Amino acid sequence: AQSVTQLDSQVPVFEEAPVELRCNYSSSVSVYLFWYVQYPNQGLQLLLKYLSGSTLVKGINGFEAEFNKSQTSFHLRKPSVHISDTAEYFCAVSTYGGATNKLIFGTGTLLAVQP
Amino acid sequence: GAVVSQHPSWVICKSGTSVKIECRSLDFQATTMFWYRQFPKQSLMLMATSNEGSKATYEQGVEKDKFLINHASLTLSTLTVTSAHPEDSSFYICSARDSTGKRTFFGQGTRLTVV
């Protein structure tokens, strides 16, 4: 079975500062990795995903994440955050292959950007 | 990009009544649809996976007789919460996956309040 751990429930940061949201996963098989953002009372929007290839993945809104297989991590980073980045961020994992494979979500990290 | 429309976005119902939530894929055929439940400040918990024309597969602990899922076409899945109780109040989110299995899109969610 797969699991996802997001150790930080909340990350406060000042505007224009860099940020890193941590994600670690556990799986006995190879996986796909995802980061989603959720604004209040809305569904989820895909920020970026790692399927294969380069371990550094660039997504929307200036976010990027690096897949580290040895550390089983997929941390999300942004060099300079904006107030509008305030939202809940979820890391998720899915196993390879099959249209019915499930997304397993972490508990989420609230990114709170302060002016 | 592909869009998944979820309706209604919010609903209030009386205890003991049933509520139906619709999830539509607007510009692609959704071979598989997923239904999630999200309690305040918590992660998304997968309730069930449904394939078009088949019975849904429910996660452990989810009452299939209470949460009826129908996936009658490649663009529509419905979740019916039967005999709703206040503890069913939650944010329900659907997602739809295309036939390649590589693209998954989320609806905007439905806030259900049972009074």
Residues B13-39: tens digit of each pLDDT: 999 999 999 999 998 898 899 999 988
Q: Which residues of B touch A108 (CB under 8 A)?
A: 41-43
Q: How confident is the model at residue A74 (pLDDT cuts 50, 70, 90)?
A: very high
Nearest CB among A42, A46, A90 relative to B43 is that of A90
Q: Count CB neighbours of B18 within 10 A.
A: 12
Distance CA(B28)–CA(B76), nearest Å, equals: 11
For residues B69 and B79, is the Cβ–Cβ distance under 8 A? yes
- pLDDT above 90 coverage of chain A, percent: 72
User: Could you tell me which of B74, B83, B85, B82 has the C-alpha nearest to residue B23?
Assistant: B74
Q: Which residues of A touch B105 (CB under 8 A)?
A: 46
Calculate the alpha carbon distances from A60 to A11, A49, A54, A66 in Å: 20, 11, 17, 14
CB contact under 8 A, B101 and A107: no
CB contact under 8 A, A43 and B104: no
Does residue A41 have a pLDDT over 90? no
Query: Looking at chain B from residue 31 to 50, which residues have their Cβ under 8 Å from any Cβ of chain A?
Result: 31-32, 34, 41-44, 46, 49
CB contact under 8 A, B106 and A105: no
Helix and strand numbers (H, E) in chain A are 0, 12
Distance CA(B67)–CA(B72), nearest Å, equals: 16
Distance CA(A45)–CA(A78), nearest Å, equals: 17
